[in-house]
Amino acid sequence: MFEAILLTVITASTPLVIAALGELVAERSGVLNLGVEGMMIMGAVSAFAAAQLTGSPYLGILAGIAGGALFSLLFGFLTLTLVANQVATGLALTILGLGLSGQLGESFVGMPGIKLQPIVIPLLSDIPFFGLVLFAQDLIFYLSVALVIGISWFLFKSRAGLKLRAIGDNHGSAHALGINVVRVRYLAVLFGGACAGLAGAQLSLVYTPQWVENMSAGRGWIALALVVFASWRPWRLLAGGYLFGAVTIGQLHAQAFGIGVPSQLLSALPYAATIVVLIIISHNRRMTLINTPASLGKPFVPDR
């Protein structure tokens, strides 16, 4: 029983963690991309379509990543090349993504999906209690853990990560040092898009293997809140993601048991929790200021 709940918590948390990780990297480079929801839903529809057409959920994953990444290029072109307002462009990306995915996915509505099967790791999965929970999961879960470790190493231990953080903190100085600010930001935005797409693929291939319009249901926005919650640190983000996953699953189980509370109140819990968490985190003004990438959301036009 407890094991089963833990499994569902992991499934609910994985897309949040992956999407938020991508956004974390983009924001560390100083780009605020509010289009996570749009990139995620584009990833979900691409993944579902590719899996249906080819019969392989793994090609679906690749299509999801590509869908999210391609879509993020649109954001990159507007905000990095044309220096458009990042907040407004992010909103545009979300609105366009929700519309376009609805249009593209129309013929897939109601089709039974193809579920990504778990990969059981021999020996490790035999460990009592934790074995099945952690080592008999699907590929996307393993990827999410690898991403946390990889990004944490990249940002704080590698030279390229140092450059990326430098750009996020002061793009003027980074430019003066000869770092190509726009190129690095393009790569960061692309990575964010790829992660959001992968998270979307998880939704339509693992979480609920089917295509439903607006199936991301605000998860992209929760991922954005998670980045603030984690104060731009990958490991804290992992913890936060699982906290949110637990709230989501907790309310589902509470609904199933029919504890005399309206189901709508329980459904509102993840959103309310997001607000509460933002309040707790933002309350400490100094903490937030220290951690926020200083040039986050600010336009950059190289002077030559």
| Cβ neighbours, 10 Å, residue 190 | 20
CB of 94 to another protein, least distance (A): 8
Q: What is the dihedral of CA 134, 139, 143, 144, to 10 degrees?
A: -60
Binding another protein (rule: CB under 8 A), the pick from 10, 18, 26, 34 is 34
Binding another protein (rule: CB under 8 A), the pick from 46, 89, 202, 251 is 89
Say whether residue 176 binds another protein (CB under 8 A): no
Say whether residue 111 binds another protein (CB under 8 A): no
Which stretches of 46-99 are assigned E, i.e. beta strand? Answer: none
Q: Which helix (H) or strand (E) holds 137?
A: strand 136-137
Pairing between strand 136-137 and 119-120? antiparallel
Q: Residue 4 or residue 88: which is nearer to another protein going by CB?
A: 88
- Residues from 132 through 171 that contact another protein (CB under 8 A): none
Q: Are 77 and 18 in contact (CB under 8 A)?
A: no
Say whether residue 99 binds another protein (CB under 8 A): yes
Q: Give the span between the Cα atoms of 294 and 172, in whole angstroms.
A: 11
Instruction: Give the contacts of 274 (CB within 8 A, at least 6 positions apart).
Output: 221, 222, 225, 244
Binding another protein (rule: CB under 8 A), the pick from 87, 146, 162, 294 is 87
- Residues from 219 through 238 that contact another protein (CB under 8 A): 221, 224-225, 228
- Residue recorded with tokens 């458009």: 84
Q: Residue 118 or residue 299: which is nearer to another protein going by CB?
A: 299
**Where do contacts with another protein occur on this chain (CB under 8 A)?**
34, 74, 78, 81-85, 87-89, 91-92, 95-100, 102-103, 106, 213, 218, 221, 224-225, 228, 262, 264-265, 267-268, 271-272, 274-275, 278-279, 282-283, 285, 288, 301, 304
